[in-house]
Amino acid sequence: MSEETKFFEYLRRTGLKITRERKEILREVFTSHRHFDADELFLRLKGRGAGVSRATVYRTLALLVRSHLVRKMELGDGRATYEHVLGHPHHDHLICIQCNRILEFHHPEIEELQQKVCEEFDFKMKSHSQQIYGVCKECRKKQSS
Amino acid sequence: MSEETKFFEYLRRTGLKITRERKEILREVFTSHRHFDADELFLRLKGRGAGVSRATVYRTLALLVRSHLVRKMELGDGRATYEHVLGHPHHDHLICIQCNRILEFHHPEIEELQQKVCEEFDFKMKSHSQQIYGVCKECRKKQSS
DNA sequence: ATCCCTGCAAATCGTTTGCAAGAGC
DNA sequence: GCTCTTGCAAACGATTTGCAGGGAT
């Protein structure tokens, strides 16, 4: 089932409406595979004349998050970063503090250990996030030259 | 060497000044062992008539972070959370989404694996943070009753 | 028709900053 | 005395919201 269909189904189920603006945003979110923030998305839409306001971008992103088609992350620089879930199983992030590039990694063993930590604390995990900040390969290459 | 001395030394070294306001903030930060945000700290100071403005709280927290006596964390709710470093070696957090309690954990094996991930990506780690969101023991007890 | 949605601009919230007066060294 | 500091209030940037007109079902 396509992401579009999933979203429409979510809307229907929740008594919400399928509008031109929501379609535009949906298309923009799923045609790129990068991480983005709300304003970037707004500007991309504006750039191609999609006619969607900033307010609607925020409101629709909230819906996409609620319907689990998009993940929202607070990476600690004040604004939220989003990524769509399509073809992106759970993962964590390496964040370059020089070029802001975001790399993804997944390490099942770490996940297992997190689970163990929760058991020790009798803590029911709902989600987790893990960020490693540092300097990526490319930036280090540039620096050393 | 006391935290106060360390901070004063940092100030001296950097050509900054030791003021009444900075002493007040320092005292307040180190007499409690909880996590706090800037506004909580401001209110505690106000509560005991310390006569320090919100602006100065923010400015001094920045200095304390720069001097490595205090750690700043973005836990994803919009505002920053702080904790002093005294007697708190590096650790990560379990965050209860019901009562907002913050538990600390440290797992050397996880750290090792993170280091391994960085090597794979040829990524130079500078810092990392890891949060596990969920429901703590106490809140679960309350719910089930 | 009935809600739901939208754009706009104003409001919010945490945080930062310009400025003029005041304190440390 | 030269700087660094402070408080205040205004400025900020990301995000949210009230409202009144327009659209989906």
Of B100, B99, B98, B68, the closest CA to residue B83 belongs to B68
Cβ <8 Å between A121 and B76 = no
For residues A76 and A83, what is the distance between their CA atoms, to the nearest angstrom? 16
How many Å apart are A31 CA and C10 C1'?
Answer: 34
Q: pLDDT, tens digit, for every residue of A76-121?
A: 788 999 999 988 889 999 999 888 889 999 999 999 999 999 999 9
Model confidence pTM above 0.85: yes
Chain B nearest-CA distance from A4, in A, is: 28
Q: Are A67 and A18 in contact, with CB atoms under 8 Å apart?
A: no
Mean pLDDT of B26-51: 96
**Taking 80 as the threshold, does the pLDDT of residue A1 lie above it?**
no
pLDDT at position A49 is 95
Q: Tell me the pLDDT band of B133, cut-offs 50, 70 and 90.
A: very high
Cβ <8 Å between B107 and A113 = yes
Q: Alpha carbon of A29 to those of A22, A24, A61, A69, B44: distances in Å?
A: 10, 9, 9, 10, 44
pLDDT at position B123 is 97
How many Å apart are B120 CA and D23 C1'?
Answer: 52
Of residues A100 and B61, the one with the higher pLDDT is: B61
* Residue boundaries of the structural domains of chain B: 1-87, 89-145
Mean pLDDT of B113-125: 97
Q: Say whether B89-145 and B1-87 share the same fold.
A: no
Q: Helix A3-14 vs helix A54-66: angle between axes, to the nearest 10 degrees?
A: 90
CATH of A89-145, one of 3.10.20.30, 3.40.50.12590, 3.40.50.1000, 3.30.1490.190: 3.30.1490.190
3-state class (DSSP) for residue A80: strand
Q: For chain A, what's the residue count?
A: 145
Q: Which chain A residue has the Cα nearest residue B79?
A: A78
Q: Alpha carbon of B30 to those of B4, B35, B52, B140: distances in Å?
A: 9, 11, 16, 32
Looking at domain A1-87, its CATH class is: mainly alpha
